[in-house]
Amino acid sequence: MILKRIVLKNFRNYSVQEITFNDKFNFIYGSNGQGKTNILEAVSYSTYGKSFLGASESDCVKFGNNEFFVESDFINDLGNKDFIVINYDTFKKSKAVHRNKQKVNSFSAEVFGRFPLVFLSPKSLNITYGNPSDRRKFFDILISQSSNLYLDQLKELAKILRQKSALLREYSIHKKYTFTELKNLLNSYNEKLSEFSAKVLFKRLNFLKEFESYFDRNFKFLLKQDHRGRISYYSDITGEVIPADAPFEREELRALTEKLLLEKYEEEIKRAVTLAGPQRDDYIFKLSKHGKDLNEGTDTFELKNFASQGEHKTFLLALKLSEYDYLKSSKSTSPVLLLDDILSELDEDRVSKIISHLKDYGQIFLTTTDRNYINRLKTFYSDSEISEFKIEEGKVI
């Protein structure tokens, strides 16, 4: 998948800017605050439908204007073209999307996943340092890009959770229902919640089985030492499990969820909140040193509690490189790779490894404040394979 061209209109600090990209490497440099990351953010709007930094649409409208446009031209491996236009209007508080001049009614169904994207920025460290919700979000986006069915299941699960939460609040705060009415309605919601929780949990566990081989290979590539990384999965429904050793069937997961919801029944009513389900789960990142097995022991520890900053970065890089490999395999096309100011975040050894490895990937966008990195890149890329963009005050020079 290649992004050939993008046009920004009143997007962030760009008034009107058209950029034609290189199929291989796009080197974007300039001082801080000039608009380098804004280009990558616009690319993410065309693929995700939102900012990869988590900013709201209104934040992306250039000051003093009422709307922005992002127009993107893609071409896939078969030579087929796609033209995506995204328009956000602050007055209407609405976003309109068109694909090949046809209005898109559902971005998730018609666009999301069609142009696979992997991004790495300093903010990505939230995946290893942050809350369980940061890790769930990372893996949910990854799995959803490769499976529309999983995305639909997530949306249905979120809908059921909203409805159940509203029911519990209406009973607890507004006394809208009798206890018998509440019990009947809760049983109905818990039945649906058990069904979709099992589907989501089953997909996550089976995904990690596949993902493990990509992660092991990339983790070993990044570290010379005899260290190992491991991702396990924790749920109140199953406990902590290593997916390769987790023989759970979907019906078994449904029954376990149903049993746990029954145990939490009275506490949920008392607290007016749902206390079981995959919306509460976590991915556990562990590191083992000196070649020890990844069983509990003095040489094995959880990343979030005991790892150094360098170990966090290595683990994150392995995750992101594995995300790329997984999407490339599952989508049968190379994702677009966005690298936002990551070279300044890494030590020299890791920078050398990343740069030497970049030629193995498809189209790449890299932002940096240091133009000197381009000289190192040119040892791997010919002049025709690199396009250089200097950014000054919202303009490509």
* Alpha carbons 9 and 326: distance in angstroms, whole number: 34
pLDDT at 176: 82
Under DSSP, is residue 98 helix (H, G, I), strand (E, B) or coil?
strand
Nearest residue to 9 via CA among 52, 56, 66: 66
Return the percentage of the chain with pLDDT > 90, whole number.
Answer: 68
Altogether, the residues listed in the chain come to a count of: 397
pLDDT at 246: 66
pLDDT at 74: 95
pLDDT at 251: 95
Higher pLDDT, 175 or 7: 7
pLDDT at 206: 94
* Alpha carbons 256 and 194: distance in angstroms, whole number: 8
Check residue 28 and report its DSSP letter. E
* Alpha carbons 365 and 389: distance in angstroms, whole number: 11
Contacts 24+ apart (CB under 8 A), 383-390: 385/22, 385/23, 385/24, 385/25, 386/22, 386/24, 386/25, 386/26, 386/27, 387/21, 387/22, 387/25, 387/26, 387/27, 388/27, 388/29, 389/19, 389/26, 389/27, 389/28, 389/29, 389/39, 390/29, 390/30
Q: What is the pLDDT averaged over residues 306-315? A: 87
Nearest residue to 112 via CA among 45, 170, 59: 45
Assigned CATH topology for domain 132-306:
Glutathione S-transferase Yfyf (Class Pi); Chain A, domain 2 (1.20.1050)
Res. 290 pLDDT band, cuts 50 70 90 = low
Check residue 342 and report its DSSP letter. -
* Alpha carbons 90 and 113: distance in angstroms, whole number: 26
Res. 173 pLDDT band, cuts 50 70 90 = confident
Res. 11 pLDDT band, cuts 50 70 90 = very high
Residue 318 CA neighbour count, 13 Å, CB half: 28
Do the Cβ atoms of 265 and 186 come closer than 8 Å? yes
Higher pLDDT, 70 or 174: 70
Structure-block tokens of residue 14: 């760009």
Continuous segment of H or E residues that includes residue 336: strand 336-340
pLDDT at 291: 55
Q: Residue 364: what residue type?
A: I
| Domain segments of the chain as ranges | 2-116+333-396, 132-306
Res. 194 pLDDT band, cuts 50 70 90 = very high
Residue at token pair 């031209």:
73
Q: What homologous superfamily is domain 2-116+333-396 in, according to CATH?
A: P-loop containing nucleotide triphosphate hydrolases (3.40.50.300)
pLDDT digits (tens, 9 = 90+) for 201-242: 999 999 999 999 999 999 988 876 778 899 999 999 999 998
Could you tell me which residues are beta bridge partners of residue 27?
Answer: 366, 388
Continuous segment of H or E residues that includes residue 70: strand 67-75
The predicted model scores a pTM of 0.91
**Which residues are CB-neighbours of 16 under 8 A, at least 6 positions away?**
7, 8, 9, 10
Using left for φ > 0, alpha for ψ between -120 and 50, and beta otherwise, residue 79 falls in left
Q: What is the pLDDT averaged over residues 36-50? A: 93
Do the Cβ atoms of 60 and 80 come closer than 8 Å? no
Do the Cβ atoms of 335 and 117 come closer than 8 Å? yes
Q: What is the pLDDT averaged over residues 17-41? A: 94
Could you tell me which residues are beta bridge partners of residue 339?
Answer: 120, 366
Q: What is the pLDDT averaged over residues 351-370? A: 85
20 burial level (CB within 10 Å; 0-12, 13-18, 19+)? exposed
Structure-block tokens of residue 200: 């989501």
Nearest residue to 83 via CA among 104, 100, 68: 100
Res. 79 pLDDT band, cuts 50 70 90 = confident
Return the percentage of the chain with pLDDT > 70, whole number.
Answer: 97
pLDDT digits (tens, 9 = 90+) for 130-146: 999 999 999 999 999 99
Residue 298 in this model has a pLDDT that exceeds 60: no
* Alpha carbons 151 and 145: distance in angstroms, whole number: 8
User: Which residue stretches of the chain are H helix?
Assistant: 36-48, 107-110, 126-129, 132-146, 148-172, 179-222, 250-263, 265-271, 303-306, 309-331, 348-357, 373-377
**Whole-number average pLDDT of the chain:** 90
Q: What is the pLDDT averaged over residues 302-310? A: 85
Residue 293 in this model has a pLDDT that exceeds 60: no
* Alpha carbons 27 and 389: distance in angstroms, whole number: 6
Residue 281 in this model has a pLDDT that exceeds 80: yes
